[in-house]
A = this chain, B = another copy of it.
Amino acid sequence: MTTATFTPAAQQALREQTVELPSWAFGNSGTRFKVFGTPGTPRDPYEKLSDAAQVHRYTGITPRVSLHIPWDLVDDYTALAEHARAEGVAISVINSNLFQDDDYKFGSLTNPDPAIRAKAVAHHLQCLDVMHATGSKELKLWLPDGLNYPGQDDLAARQERLAESLRKIYAAMADDETLLIEYKFFEPAFYATDIPDWGTSLLHCLALGERAKVVLDTGHHAPGTNIEFIVMQLLRAGRLGAFDFNSRFYADDDLMVGAADPFQLFRIMHEIVKADALAPASGVNFMLDQCHNIEPKIQGQIRSVMNVQEATAKALLIDADALAEAQRSGDVLAANGLLMDAYHTDVRPALAALREAQGLAGDPLAAFRASGYEKKVADERVGGTQAGWGA
């Protein structure tokens, strides 16, 4: 095929697809060497939500925003949720922070000191309060705990402490709330990470119960890891809770999704489409989790959302019947060719048409750039402290 034409089912899938935005993507971020600021950067959670709403305004598929506690602590969550609604978005997943308290130098949920573990557990109860105040049903936990040096602590003992801490958090959650547990290969720990891979995350989820699920972040794997395989395996196990989009050439580079390896993104979406996990009913929360160190943040989010949409659209173009037949017959080149045919097809005109049919601009990025929003907030947001990670 050379011109993308979506089937009615594909069109519906594309219309229903949503991508959650991270509030922290609108604040400053950088490397250990330097965080560059930019005029107009939000200074509080309200302004972050306003910026996130811009992404939804132009793409139409990002109706939800994740918060990060304590970065997004406010006095009045009813007011914040109301602000979000007024801007056209909703507050969704609540993320805990286990890496910035001085007490967590040697671990949080795994710390040898029971008092510090209790503090880290209590932080999640605080997050649950935010969930109740905002109506969020998902608590996301990325555990930065780990060791920099062999011998620094006992790897097995840390797993037992972790299991106990997780049990306490899970026990505090309601029946309609989900605990999302994220794994990461390395960083900020440089010898051993306490949840380094999907197997460890899954083992803890299995021990906890059905409402504990794994979060896969595309940047959190060893070099060469076949990520679509893990997506497939977690979907097969019924334990893929959320998917953090971003991309990387080296480590956890947190570049815009699709920027480093668009073909990998397409292969991932192929597994998701095959497992029918794109639909809201699948329970998988697709979200962006990436930094914009040098590119404009709202634009970066819009581009990322478009990249996800394009990869999804290509995955939806695959001729499943023909592919299955080629696979059955052992025709390697034909089977691969059917996949590549969809990948090489330019879906952008068809996606533009789909957007226009929904009253959106065909090119969301161009439309946003032309809107004057960036200049407006740069002019308005003077004084105060630009939001960031506060590392």
User: Which A residues are within 8 Å of any B CB, using their own CB?
Assistant: 2, 29-37, 99-100, 102, 104-106, 112, 144, 148-156, 159, 185-188, 190-193, 196-200, 202-203, 221-226, 228-230, 232-233, 235-237, 248-251, 253, 255-256, 259-263, 267, 271, 274-275, 293-296, 299-300, 303, 310, 323-324, 327-328, 330, 332-333, 335-340, 343-346, 348-349, 365, 389, 391
Contact = CB atoms under 8 A, between A and B. Distances in A.
A260 B148 CA distance: 9
B151 A391 contact: no
B159 A233 contact: yes
A153 B325 CA distance: 10
A293 B324 CA distance: 22
A265 to B, nearest CB: 10
A371 to B, nearest CB: 15
A278 to B, nearest CB: 15
A34 B100 contact: yes
B294 A105 contact: yes
A154 to B, nearest CB: 6
23 contacts: A32-B32, A33-B188, A35-B391, A36-B102, A148-B293, A148-B295, A149-B295, A150-B336, A150-B339, A151-B339, A154-B324, A155-B232, A155-B271, A156-B274, A190-B248, A190-B249, A190-B250, A196-B229, A203-B233, A250-B251, A299-B333, A303-B333, A337-B365
A203 to B, nearest CB: 6
Given A151-B327, A199-B233, 6 more contacts: A29-B32, A31-B32, A33-B100, A149-B256, A151-B336, A191-B260
A112 B188 CA distance: 33
- Give the 5 A-B CB pairs with smallest separation, nearest first: A199-B199, A151-B339, A222-B222, A190-B253, A31-B188
Contacts of A338: 151
Contacts of A262: 263, 340, 343
Contacts of A235: 156
A154 B274 contact: yes
Given A197-B199, A295-B148, A225 B222 contact: yes
Contact of A31 (B37, B187, B335): B187
Given A155-B232, A223-B222, A224-B223, A391 B30 contact: yes
Nearest to A38: B105
A225 B35 CA distance: 25
A105 B292 CA distance: 12
Contacts of A34: 99-100, 104, 188, 391
B346 A2 contact: yes
B112 A33 contact: no
A140 B335 CA distance: 32
A296 B6 CA distance: 32
Contacts of A199: 197-199, 202, 230, 233
A206 to B, nearest CB: 8
Contact of A150 (B105, B267, B296, B300): B267
A83 B136 CA distance: 59
A149 B332 contact: yes
Given A186-B250, A250-B185, A296-B333, A232 B156 contact: yes
B32 A391 contact: yes
